[in-house]
Amino acid sequence: WWIVFSIALIAFLWGLGCIVYTISTGIGTWGLNKTVGWAWDITNFVWWVGIGHAGTLISAVLLLFRQRWRMAINRSAEAMTIFSVIQAGLFPIIHMGRPWLAYWVVPIPNQFGSLWVNFNSPLLWDVFAISTYLSVSLVFWWTGLLPDFAMLRDRAITPFNKRVYSILSFGWSGRAKDWQRFEEVSLVLAGLATPLVLSVHTIVSMDFATSVIPGWHTTIFPPYFVAGAVFSGFAMVNTLLIIMRKVSNLEAYITIQHIELMNIVIMITGSIVGVAYITELFVAWYSGVEYEQYAFLNRATGPYWWAYWSMMTCNVFSPQFMWFKKLRTSIMFSFII
């Protein structure tokens, strides 16, 4: 484990050094200039928020639909969600250039008189979206851990550990009344979290859609981003679970059925993303706007053609292999895809 920890520590220190350099030099190091409004920061922000959607979807939506297969994977997916949202929140703060003034985007009373937040700014919408999403996800995750904290409390040897786990478990006793309230609270939180799956990435998509840049100023972005978020989130959960399944010998707990069902979700959302790509191209052609047509043509045939076609291959073509049961039940194939 210390080898993996050492690699992670080196990567962390390297990233920390890069952030310090970026803040001290200026966010122009990320490629931002007068014509480039978003760069590495928004790319990372969207990616982290996106992979965090799978945890909420597995925990909330599948709970409302009474899908029992979620129970083996929901805890790890929720933990990934919380970690992802915390990471995502860092990038808009760094993007400001002066992270020590980040509290200025929060609508709090201040001594500057007329200084107030700009509610027309997508950056402020991100603040509300991320903070709400993190709060609900954290409460949802903690609620699911109450019986586990109670079990750790009952097995604790030292009085200090027993006291800590007793506080964390909120006095859980395991009575029928506790389980009844647990189920009621879980359903209420699931009802609150389900709209967040749609709203959070919708708001993130408006960072782009509210601009006037050709190819971005379009109404398809909200559903397109939500489908892409669920797609990337499930792919990340699948990847991590396959590794954890092998390393921790959890084959009896995380079964082939779990992998297959997640592959089906990946296949469906990948197809939706493919439809969104095709719709974008069609609308650009149908609009007759020369600038918008050039933007899409330049993506496919310009200097970054290799990135565009790599994206199309990974996001649209590769998931179509999941139509075949033999392939979607193959652990190695699922991991590679």
| pTM for the model | 0.79
Q: What percent of the chain has pLDDT over 90?
A: 2
Q: How many domains does the chain have?
A: 1
Of 142, 157, 156, 149, the C-alpha closest to 174 is 149
Q: Is residue 303 part of a domain?
A: yes
Tens of pLDDT, residue by residue over 310-319, are 888 888 888 8
Q: What percent of the chain has pLDDT over 70?
A: 96
As a whole number, mean pLDDT of residues 87-102 equals 81
Tens of pLDDT, residue by residue over 222-250, are 888 888 888 888 888 888 888 888 887 77
Tens of pLDDT, residue by residue over 45-91, are 888 888 877 777 777 777 777 777 777 777 777 888 888 888 888 88
Residue 13 has pLDDT above 90, yes or no: yes
- DSSP class of residue 31 equals T
Q: Is residue 67 part of a domain?
A: yes
DSSP-assigned states of every residue in 114-158: S----TT-HHHHHHHHHHHHHHHHHHHHHHHHHHHHHHHHHH--S
Q: Is residue 23 part of a domain?
A: no
Q: Is residue 241 part of a domain?
A: yes
Q: Which residue has the tokens 């043509």?
A: 297
Range of the domain at 97: 39-106+114-120+195-336
State residue 113 phi and psi, 5-degree precision. Answer: 75, -95
Q: Is residue 281 part of a domain?
A: yes
End-to-end Cα, the chain, rounded Å: 26
Q: Is residue 131 part of a domain?
A: no
Distance CA 207, CA 148 (A): 39
Contacts of 204 (CB under 8 A, 6+ apart): 45, 46, 49, 126, 129, 225
Tens of pLDDT, residue by residue over 261-312, are 888 888 888 888 888 888 888 888 888 778 888 888 888 888 888 988 888 8
pLDDT score, position 112? 64
